[in-house]
Structure 1
Amino acid sequence: MLTRTAIYEGRVTPGHEEEFFRRVRDELEPLWRRFPNVTEVRVQRLRSADPDARPIAMILEMDFPDQAAIDACLASSIRPESHSATVEVMKLFEGRFYHLVTEATVLPPAGST
């Protein structure tokens, strides 16, 4: 499994936090869930961070079975629609977003059976 992660580095324009996250929920999440081959979508809103952490407002994670599935997703007709909607919502955001693709190794806690 591969995860394509979008890091929203920066901050929501002060006073627009609820509007930003409402628009993410109402306008962007339905598009993200429609991407072909996506097996899971996680939207994470920052609750706390170390004092010296970079300012991250939100993290979006989408799981895919393999790189071919990600490539098909990126080539889909939903992508331009999603990008256009994201540009509009980002007018309430001071910063940038960028993507990473990762492969995880899941480890059980020590001492678990």
Structure 2
Amino acid sequence: MLTRTAIYEGRVRDAREEEFFRRVRDELEPFWRRFPGVTAVRIQRVVSKDADARPIAMILEMDFPDQAALDACLASPIRPESHAATEAVMEMFDGRFYHLVSTGRTMSLVD
């Protein structure tokens, strides 16, 4: 499994956090769920952090079974639409977003 992570580093402008996250839910999540090959989408809103941590407002994670599925997602005609919608929502955000691709494993601690 591969996870493509988007880190939204910065701050939501002028106490517009509720509007920002509502628009993420209503306008962006539908695109993310439609990408071909995606098996899971996680949106994480940062609620606390270490005092010296970078300002991260949100983390988006999308899981793919393999590189071919990730490549299909990146080549999808949905991507330009998603990017345009993201740019509109980002007008409320001071900062940047960038992507990482990782592989990993999950260890369940509950039986």
Tell me the TM-score range normalised by the shorter chain: over 0.9
> How many angstroms does 1:108 deviate by?
4.6
Moved over 6 A (4+): none
Q: Which amino acid aligns with 2:54?
A: R
Instruction: Provide the rounded CA distance (Å) in 1 between the counterparts of 2:108 and 2:20.
Output: 36
CA distance in 1, matches of 2:99, 2:93: 17
Distance 1:87 1:28 in 2: 10
Q: CA RMSD in A?
A: 1.2
The DSSP-based 3-state class of the residue aligned with 1:14 is helix
Please state whether the residue corresponding to 1:30 is helix, strand or coil. Answer: helix
Structure (1 or 2) with the greater helix fraction: 2
1:106 shift after superposition: 2.4
How high is the TM-score relative to the length of structure 2? Answer: 0.95
**Equivalent position of 1:55 in the other structure:** 55
Q: Distance in 2 between matches of 1:16 and 1:5?
A: 23
Alignment of 1:37-52 (within 5 A): 37-52=37-52
Question: What runs of 5+ residues in structure 2 fail to find an aligned partner?
Answer: none
Sequence identity of aligned pairs in percent?
73
Are 1:23 and 2:27 matched, yes or no?
Answer: no
Unaligned runs of 5+ residues in structure 1 are none
**Following the alignment from structure 1 to structure 2, what is the Cα–Cα distance between the partners of residues 60 and 104?**
16
User: Residue in 2 aligned with 1:11?
Assistant: 11
1:1-113 mapped onto 2 (5 Å cutoff): 1-109=1-109
Separation in 1, partners of 2:107, 2:34: 30
What is the TM-score of this pair, normalised by structure 1?
0.94
Q: Which amino acid aligns with 1:51?
A: A
SS at match of 2:63: strand
- What is the rounded CA distance, in whole Å, between the counterparts of 2:63 and 2:105 in structure 1? 14
**Counterpart Cα distance in 1 of 2:102 and 2:26:** 27
The Cα shift of 1:16 comes to: 1.1
> In structure 2, how many angstroms separate the alpha carbons of the residues matched to 1:33 and 1:108?
25
